[in-house]
Chains A and B, each alone.
Chain A
């Protein structure tokens, strides 16, 4: 798995479907928030949740390098591509780019807010994923009425991601020994070095997928007549419904505050109310090429 499963955490024994729903809830709430103060509060809450639920935040140490790169990418993209004017007339614009965007105090705050959003989503998801093993992930999705084969593939993707990252480490080490520079030299050289890792990574990945597929086929993965020896008691109890209800209320509240009242919007950002039908329509427009049925709101 991506992380060692935190079996000491009280979250470990909780219903896996609730954990999966919680991951979606945190990500949606973070998505709806743009106010720096609210985002900071969410970020702090998630940070505090780690020691509270006895999950070590150092489990992310292994992936620190990727997190830093992604944070850098997020900050650069928002700094280079934002046009948020200063809050007060006459406020400073520090630098104007030839293509029209600029860096101002507000764009810096916006970039920091987006970084907090990204990190909150990451930490929030990690908090719950680290307290689930592959079987719980699979059982969790399956009890949410996701077909078993799809639920299994989702859980398998976590394992293969871990193998992918292990391979990435080995490939980087091997290339470093052959003189490839990942952390020194010109920027383009370093980008090129990372690009070169994709070749062996893809080859190894494709070979692994083939072997895993063969193994699954010979274990009767799609034989179609599956029994269930290990079915846990995954029926929802009252407290589970209560948790889901609370999370649904939080999501709806975040949506309403953001899109109906503009309270969670970024200060100074033009606010346009977005009714839920339009939001669903937007989702449908983007999702309809992927799903075989059409959304009713497009």
Chain B
């Protein structure tokens, strides 16, 4: 039986273009559907349509139909639809409204009129299922990102709806947090036989979890299939802004190099499958690696521009965010600051730009002790791009946004012609020229993030600090921003990036600093950092799939990029004859 049937669905918001166009989709009971697509494809809109918020609670125009358990969402009152569906949105802070974990779970149960005995029973079940029973009295504001998201899931779960929808629920989580959420979903699927719809940019997690995937682009479903079918066309996916799991990409490369080695249409999509296949198709012999040069960028010897000496910081509420930070950043370095949620990353970069001053210890930026100078002085040579671009955009047009600092804060330094030239160059680099007269807040989240980066680049600061540049971005946009930052770094500028995306760190960033509980637990080149898997685990970080695969190769260096693995496999290993890989 089909839980959800969509026929010819098209939707547009009031005064907008069509967001969803002629969607036809059926989702069987008990199955898990994954939805991928570039930013702005209509994924969230589709989720709203699947739970009945569209058209019941949103203004717009609808064509076609959505039937949930045979109930047409256009004709059935929303109050009759919603008991069958639970939905978890991206930002848990906008879903958690009660003063304690258990109150949060009780709230929807009360709203739906469950009797007290039933509420008590379901509360205990939901707490146990999500591992929150020991922190039931805690305020949601005190929880970590992963815990908050588990709580949001618990709220949806407590009602035991047959259909659950998850809209990018792991975006802000560290890698271990993401794994925890997916482990929970796997457990639920096994025990409760729920129908699940998951929107996710993290294809690696989705690949091992979904029964079926659809690719949404410009409001249309342009591809559909099982994970192994879906991820076999790596080139198509990457062209359309979706990066497949690294293992699929690796084996796609192997299948091109060794056409007889495996079936191109049945690439492994999970790490475990890839490991198994690697053992099957390779003779792992001991071979030297002389001809495979893996070059890492040498440590910089240029002048120190940021120096932290035993920096400690305690927030007014008593939270000790930094516990003795010692580090030096040099001119021209490209550095990643990584760590679990709540490890102190954002607090540290706020110190770099002078927004926060150490409660103990000293921090010098360009030789200036941050305790002795104003934020404005430091801001002349630094730029910070916030995680949420909406916090830093305030002008009427894209052009004005980029030109603001050049015109006003450094007034007199630039002529109008110079401003026009600088801004036009940066808009061109960021691919925003066509939007120069647009209102920033009318653009999509991905474009606003790009604009925020552009406002930092245009003033050509000595240091650019970017906080989570990939949040809300599809893979293609994320890589595009990283390439632009790399180009900027090659011009001698220092770049500092906070991110959870370990793939991006391994591909673009030569130096990594790992924070845990306000301390630096390792500070080295990225390859060295990735060789310490136990330290990464302590910081709730996981290595990219390609690194884990490379780890299987005896005497191989730590692999960071797909190209490195490909080089090693192409040159050094004998591949067995074609083995049809049966799943």
Contacts and interface: CB of A to CB of B under 8 A. Distances in A.
A199 interface: yes
A197 B394 contact: yes
Contacts of A1: 99
Interface of B: 48, 51, 53, 57, 78-79, 82-83, 85-87, 89, 91, 93-95, 97-99, 103, 106-116, 119-120, 155-156, 316-317, 350, 353, 355, 375-376, 379, 382-384, 386, 388, 390-394, 404-405, 408-410, 441, 455
Given A178-B409, A227-B113, A200 B94 contact: no
Contact of B111 (A133, A156, A196, A221): A221
B376 A181 contact: yes
Contact of A179 (B111, B316, B376): B376
Contacts of A228: 110
A179 B317 CA distance: 29
A203 interface: yes
A226 B111 contact: yes
26 contacts: A133-B99, A134-B97, A135-B98, A171-B391, A174-B384, A176-B355, A177-B375, A177-B383, A178-B392, A179-B376, A179-B404, A179-B405, A180-B408, A181-B376, A203-B441, A214-B89, A215-B94, A215-B95, A218-B82, A218-B87, A220-B79, A226-B111, A227-B115, A229-B114, A229-B116, A230-B106
B113 A208 contact: no
A113 B87 CA distance: 53
Nearest to A207: B390
Closest 8 CB pairs of A and B: A179-B409, A220-B111, A225-B113, A174-B392, A219-B108, A211-B94, A215-B95, A133-B99
A224 B394 contact: no
A61 B316 contact: yes
B79 A218 contact: no
A135 B103 CA distance: 9
Contacts of A208: 94
A5 B141 CA distance: 12
B111 A219 contact: yes
Interface in A1-52: 1, 4-5
A213 B48 CA distance: 13
Interface in A115-163: 133-135, 156, 159, 163
B111 A223 contact: yes
Given A217-B53, A218-B87, A176 B376 contact: yes
A167 interface: yes
Given A199-B394, A203-B441, A204-B391, A218 B51 contact: yes
B116 to A, nearest CB: 5
Given A178-B409, A211-B91, A170 B108 contact: no
Contacts of A179: 376, 379, 404-405, 408-410
A171 B112 contact: no
A212 B94 contact: yes
A159 B97 contact: yes
Given A177-B375, A211-B94, A214-B48, A170 B391 contact: yes
Given A220-B82, A229-B116, A230-B110, A178 B404 contact: yes
Contacts of B355: 173, 176-177
A179 B113 CA distance: 53
Interface residues of A, number: 51
Given A134-B98, A226-B113, A229-B106, 19 more contacts: A61-B316, A134-B97, A159-B97, A170-B388, A170-B391, A173-B355, A174-B391, A176-B375, A181-B376, A196-B394, A214-B89, A217-B82, A218-B86, A219-B108, A220-B83, A220-B108, A227-B109, A227-B114, A229-B116
Contacts of A227: 109-110, 113-116, 119
A133 B139 CA distance: 10
Contacts of A263: none
Q: Which of B83, B114, B393 has the most CB of A within 10 A?
A: B393
A235 interface: no
A207 B94 CA distance: 10
A192 to B, nearest CB: 10
Contacts of B390: 200, 203-204, 207
A229 B113 CA distance: 10
Contacts of B392: 171, 174-175, 177-178, 200
Contacts of A221: 111
Contacts of B111: 219-221, 223, 226
A133 B51 CA distance: 31
B538 to A, nearest CB: 30
Nearest to A225: B113
Nearest to B385: A174
A150 to B, nearest CB: 15
A71 B314 CA distance: 30
Contacts of B155: 219
B143 to A, nearest CB: 15
A19 B488 CA distance: 58
B107 A174 contact: no
Contacts of B441: 199-200, 203
Contact of B57 (A62, A217, A224): A217
A222 interface: yes
Contact of A176 (B87, B379, B404): B379
Contacts of A180: 408-409
Contact of A178 (B83, B113, B455): B455
Interface string A69-99: 0000000000000000000000000000000
A82 B113 CA distance: 57
Point out which of B91, B109, B394 has the most chain A C-beta atoms below 10 A from its C-beta. B394
Nearest to A135: B99
Contacts of B97: 134, 156, 159, 212, 215-216
A215 B92 CA distance: 10
A217 B119 CA distance: 19
A212 B95 CA distance: 6
